[in-house]
Amino acid sequence: MSEHIITVAGVAVDTRHWIGGERVASTQTFEDVSPIDGSTIGDISRGTAMEAAAAVAAAKAAFPAWAATSRAERARILHAIADGVEKRIEELAIVETIDNGALLRSHRRGVMPRVAHNFRFFADWLLSLEHEDFETRGHTNHVSWDPAGPCVLITPWNAPLMLATWKVAPALAAGDTVMLKPAEWSPLTASLLADIAAEAGLPAGVLNVVQGYGSEIGDALTSHPDVRRISFTGSVPTAKRIAESAAANLTPLSLELGGKSPLLVFADADLDLAVDLAVQQYDNAGQVCLAGTRLLVEEAVVEEFTRRFVEKASALKQGDPRDEATDIGPNIHPRQLEKIDGFVQRAVAAGARAVIGGHRGDGQYYAPTLLTGVAQDSEIVQEEVFGPVLTLQTFTDEEEAVLLANGTRFGLAATVFTGNRERAERITARLVAGTVWVNCFFVRDLQAPFGGSRLSGVGREGGTWSFDFYCDVKNTVTAPSGWRNHG
């Protein structure tokens, strides 16, 4: 076996880049460590500006042929990739669990099947993508979606393959070529995706996977003049740096960034439902951008809500994510754990009270935490923690509820629990958020627009919105007469 192949739970993973249909090694590597126990998984090729340039060149060379490939053929290949994912769900699930610490049961039952669905959905949407022609003073307007060119896709570590394919699938369907840069803390399933895509018949250079640090290979990719689209999911500071790099070339950006989402519970809500879904905000050890981390509860029911919440949250089992009985796994990295604990300890020092949790566990585990006694302008309320930490505040009426809910710099999502339809309509109309759930949570349809407001992002993707971003949308206007050849 090659020195560049590592074995993860019996699955062979190539640690090199995938550029132009070939495996390419770097002279330097970085260590990939499992958050489960801190063990070293392997040494991964560490890309630089040289690998970035090679990937862009490969994507640029492959673009004309892929862009000219028929919609039907592109869709066929995307379905073949989905077939390959479905054949390897178990392998992808265990590798990603070891690499990023998320629950194996979730990877098996939800996340990896969603990866395959991402490819199937955008393949099918491509075949139905159209805009009805319309007339202007007798002239015909025809709207079309032309492939834009090479795309840089930079993806996060909290749901590595699912969030990567949420970008890769529409970009490939649109006829673009791709340079995928996975997060350095969870790079392994992106490498497996390259294998699956090649086996499915995706032409060389259409998908390239490059690994490394954002400050090294990431900056080189986002500042390259031959890149025509950049899509990024991650933190606000990194997004600002990417935007600066893209500005010199006016490269269009799609940015899905942090969240500090409110979860509002009115006195007339189904409290059992509200509590159940509030506890679900600890999913993936709190490493979910959409999580409703700010619980806003009407004063009349806060005591009962808190009692039920504590009872249910205290029953959660934290431990090895490979265990089917585990509810909460580890946080991704020691640096992230330090960040989480820093937020909590500063909040407690400022007067907050930890109703549950408020401390580290063993290794890279952080106890599910609920903080009360927090001020609206406090750091813990205003800044994204990205860990299993929720805050609880109260309100007395709708006006105060909306004021608190909208009272941060973010606007990714919001969740509202109420038994009154008219109230739900009033509240949701005033919330600043890209997605609002009413009496439910995390119901996602790929045809819906997805993105954030304020510091939570720029742009929308999903359904036709994805093709609007990954394509150059063209309008062709044709006069009703003047044809010399009527054949």
What is the C-alpha to C-alpha distance for residues 416 and 424, in angstroms, rounded to an integer?
Answer: 7
Residues 324 and 219 in one domain: no
| Domain contains 356 | yes
Per-residue pLDDT tens digits for 229-256 = 999 999 999 999 999 999 999 999 999 9
Q: What is the CATH number of the domain that holds 156?
A: 3.40.605.10
Q: Is residue 473 part of a domain?
A: no
Q: What local confidence, expressed as pLDDT, does residue 25 receive?
A: 97
Domain assignment of residue 161, yes or no: yes
In a domain, 122, yes or no: yes
Does the residue 458 lie in any domain? no
Q: Give, for all 487 residues of the chain, the pLDDT tens digit.
A: 578 999 999 999 999 999 999 999 999 999 999 999 999 999 999 999 999 999 999 999 999 999 999 999 999 999 999 999 999 999 999 999 999 999 999 999 999 999 999 999 999 999 999 999 999 999 999 999 999 999 999 999 999 999 999 999 999 999 999 999 999 999 999 999 999 999 999 999 999 999 999 989 999 999 999 999 999 999 999 999 999 999 999 999 999 999 999 999 999 999 999 999 999 999 999 999 999 999 999 999 999 999 999 999 999 999 999 999 999 999 999 999 999 999 999 999 999 999 999 999 999 999 999 999 999 999 999 999 999 999 999 999 999 999 999 999 999 999 999 999 999 999 999 999 999 999 999 999 999 999 999 999 999 999 999 999 999 999 999 999 878 875 5
The answer to whether residues 306 and 412 belong to one domain is yes
Say yes or no: 241 and 276 in one domain: no
Instruction: Tell me if 444 is assigned to some domain.
Output: no
Please state the three-class secondary structure of 426-438 as a single string. HHHHHCCCCEEEE
Residue 280 gets which letter from DSSP?
G
The answer to whether the pTM exceeds 0.75 is yes
Residues 169 and 22 placed together within one structural domain of the fold? yes
Residue 267, phi then psi, degrees to nearest 5:
-60, -25
Residue type at 263 in one-letter notation = L
* H/E segment holding residue 482: none
Instruction: Round to whole Å and give the CA distance between 146 and 143.
Output: 10
Q: Please report the pLDDT score of residue 487 as a whole number.
A: 52
Q: Which of 289, 298, 384, 461 is catalytic?
A: 289
Residues 45 and 105 in one domain: yes
Got the DSSP string for 325-374?
T-SB---S-HHHHHHHHHHHHHHHHTT-EEEE--SB-STT-B--EEEES-
Q: Which two tokens stand for residue 82?
A: 């989905």
Domain final position from 395, 413, 438: 438
pLDDT at 388: 98
Backbone angles phi and psi of 133, in degrees to 5? -60, 150
109 and 182 fall within a common domain: yes
On whether residue 477 sits in a domain, the answer given is: no
Range of the domain at 350: 262-438
Query: Alpha-carbon distance 319 to 476, whole Å?
Result: 58
How far is residue 268's CA from residue 249's CA, in Å, rounded to a whole number? Answer: 52
User: Which of 257, 280, 307 is the endpoint of a domain?
Assistant: 257
The CATH number of residue 380's host domain is 3.40.309.10
The kind and range of the H/E element at 44 are strand 40-45
Q: Which of these, 344, 352, 124, 145, lies nearest to 229 by C-alpha position?
A: 145
Please, how many CA atoms are within 13 Å of residue 8, restricted to the half-sphere of its CB? 31
In 69-187, alpha helices (H): 71-87, 89-100, 104-106, 112-128, 160-173
The number of distinct structural domains making up the chain is: 2
Q: Are residues 245 and 277 in the same domain?
A: no
Instruction: Report yes or no: 272 and 278 within 8 Å, Cβ to Cβ.
Output: no
Average pLDDT of the chain to the nearest whole number: 96
Residues 186 and 221 grouped into a single domain? yes
**Residue 100, domain member (yes or no):** yes
Per-residue pLDDT at 2: 79
Contact call for residues 187 and 218 (beta carbons, < 8 A): no
Distance (Å) of CA 174 to CA 244, 254, 350, 472: 26, 15, 51, 10
Return the pLDDT at 1.
59
| Residue ranges in 217-362 assigned as alpha helix (H) | 219-222, 236-247, 271-279, 302-314, 334-349
Are 278 and 361 members of one domain? yes
- Name the burial class of residue 398, with classes exposed (0-12), middle (13-18) and buried (19+) by CB atoms within 10 angstroms of its CB: middle
Quote the pLDDT of residue 288.
95
pLDDT tens digits, one per residue of 359-400: 999 999 999 999 999 999 999 999 999 999 999 999 999 999
Asked about 256 being catalytic, the answer comes back as yes
H helices of 130-184, in order, are 160-173
C-alpha dihedral over 443, 448, 449, 454, to 10 degrees? -20
Q: Are residues 160 and 290 in the same domain?
A: no
Q: Which of 31, 30, 42 is nearest to 217 (CA)?
A: 30
Give the integer Cα–Cα distance in Å for 170 and 78. 10
* Amino acid letter, 474: K
Query: Which of the listed residues 203, 235, 257 is the one where a domain comes to its end?
Result: 257
Q: Which of 51, 184, 256, 298 is catalytic?
A: 256
pLDDT score at 481: 84
Same domain, 225 and 277: no
Tell me the pairing of strands 229-233 and 253-256. Answer: parallel
CA gap 382, 385 in Å, rounded:
9
Q: At what angle do helices 112-128 and 160-173 cross, to 10 degrees?
A: 20
Residues 292 and 208 in one domain: no
Residue 83 identity: D
Contact 456, 257 (CB under 8 A): yes
